[in-house]
Amino acid sequence: MRVVSGLFLPVLLAEVWLVTSFNLSSHSPEAPVHLESQDYENRTWEEYTWTDPRTEKEEEYWLRASQQLSNETSSFGFNLLRKISMRHDGNVIFSPFGLCVAMVNLMMGAKGETKVQVENGLNLQALSQAGPLILPALFKRVKETFASNQELDLTQGSFAFIHKDFDIKETYSNLSKKYFDTEYVPTNFRNSSQARELINHYIIKETEGKIPKLFDEINPETKLILVDYILFKALMEWMNLGLKAIPGDERKWLTPFDPIFTEADTFHLDKYKAVKVPMMYREGDFASTFDKKFRCHILKLPYQGNATMLVVLMEKTGDHMALEDYLTIDLVETWLQNMKSRKMEVFFPKFKLNQRYEMHELLKQMGIRTVFSTSADLSQLSAVARNLQVSKVLQQSMLEVDERGTEAVSGTVSEIVAYSMPPVIKVDRPFHFIIYEEVSRMLLFLGRVVNPTVL
């Protein structure tokens, strides 16, 4: 099985795509390894019943569970950032939420140690103890929260490209449709070039050409490819989806930058190297704080629709990597609680990012190994599960930032006075960014900008 995840996140002409695909390939039969776990791990979906909290009017339970889901997904994201940083120190952009959605979609087809490892690796083992369907139900509720906010313009969907003779369990396909809105597309993987063109056609269509070639090649032994996507859009008309942007309804910063003030300026890569970038400018009210312990500035840049970007900038150039070891949900909450709004001048660069990661290697380091081996137990997905395994998980991310808004980041200072935030914040050195949805507090995108001139 092969997994590919791509994320597109441009600005103002902007939409954000996370495309995650799982490619199931066959392998030689081998007895799967099982792990002792809760009784429900060995039950079929038909044997287990879990009731959505809404039907029991347990909204308090839903709020607690969704908050825990948000916290654990964020923790997973910070852990994953640290794994990525061990491999390279350049620009980073990925979606913890999108990757979790895709893995939970797949996890509904897993059992035993395979399932337990995915739960543990995603930090979702505690929540899953309430039942095997609570995680899909929680993600569905979060998606419904996003969908109810028209200003947010966050859209999700899922495709399942299934080989014509692959015996997928009806129970799994029904659950995937129910919780992830999965659309099934018959595909002949034996004709790998034709299958590649078909899948890429769907991806091109859904991303308006922003991801023109997700698959370079496809294994003819593939049985199923699951593609999950997230769209955070701005100036696009989605005629093929039956959705059309309202004229003038553009994604904007709540405090947009005026293009007339954008000028070329210096961005310091380190103590010795610098590049020229288009530097944007805005004067207005911004929420910010300064962390005295870590000596960093945090700037809050809200979007329309209850989405927010936090910009985290170290006081000294070159210290940004050291902060990653300490990034936690508790630290971020402390920053948010200490935020104060004040009038200030903000400068930050226009930039584009384009990143792709082999997430399967990173997930293995986080303890998710069995699903990628011949011991994978995907018996909830198919009766031929002994011949299935996940071979690859990829995530591709693209980010573009301009004056009017959508995914971008900023937060730096030219001078530091005592422990207070200066009235001028100039983003002219490497920084981190965190994009989250205010209501659910779900971490949508996470990354860092080391060189804004490099894709």
DSSP string for residues in 315-363: SSTT-HHHHGGG--HHHHHHHHHT-EEEEEEEEEE-EEEEEEEEHHHHH
> In Å, what is the CA distance from 415 to each residue of 165, 196, 231, 282, 412?
65, 53, 38, 18, 9
DSSP state of 250: -
Confidence at residue 52, expressed as pLDDT on a 0 to 100 scale: 52
CATH classification code of 2-248+353-400: 3.30.497.10
Full pLDDT tens readout for the chain, 455 residues: 433 332 322 222 223 334 444 555 554 333 332 223 333 344 444 444 445 555 555 678 888 888 999 999 999 999 999 999 998 899 998 889 888 988 998 899 999 999 999 999 999 999 988 877 899 999 998 888 888 877 776 666 788 888 888 888 999 999 999 998 888 889 898 898 998 888 888 877 776 666 677 677 788 888 888 777 766 653 222 222 222 223 333 446 777 788 888 999 999 999 899 999 999 988 888 999 999 999 999 999 888 788 888 999 999 988 999 999 999 999 999 999 999 998 888 888 888 877 778 888 899 999 999 988 888 898 898 877 667 887 777 777 767 777 765 432 222 222 323 333 446 888 899 999 998 988 888 998 899 999 999 87
CATH superfamily of 259-350+404-449: Alpha-1-antitrypsin, domain 1 (2.30.39.10)
- At residue 239's C-alpha, the angle toward residues 237 and 240, to 5°, is 125
| Residue 200 exposed, middle or buried by CB count within 10 Å (0-12, 13-18, 19+) | middle
Spatial CA neighbour of 435 closest among 116, 166, 96, 30: 96
Domains of the chain, residue spans = 2-248+353-400, 259-350+404-449
- Domains 2-248+353-400 and 259-350+404-449 belong to one CATH topology: no
- At residue 415's C-alpha, the angle toward residues 409 and 420, to 5°, is 85
Distance (Å, whole) CA 398 – CA 376 = 32
Listed in sequence order, the DSSP H helices in 86-167 are 96-107, 112-121, 125-128, 134-147
pTM: 0.80
- Cβ count near 299 (within 10 Å): 27
Contact predicate 253/15, CB 8 Å: no
192 is written with which tokens? 């790998």
- Cβ count near 19 (within 10 Å): 29
Confidence at residue 278, expressed as pLDDT on a 0 to 100 scale: 93
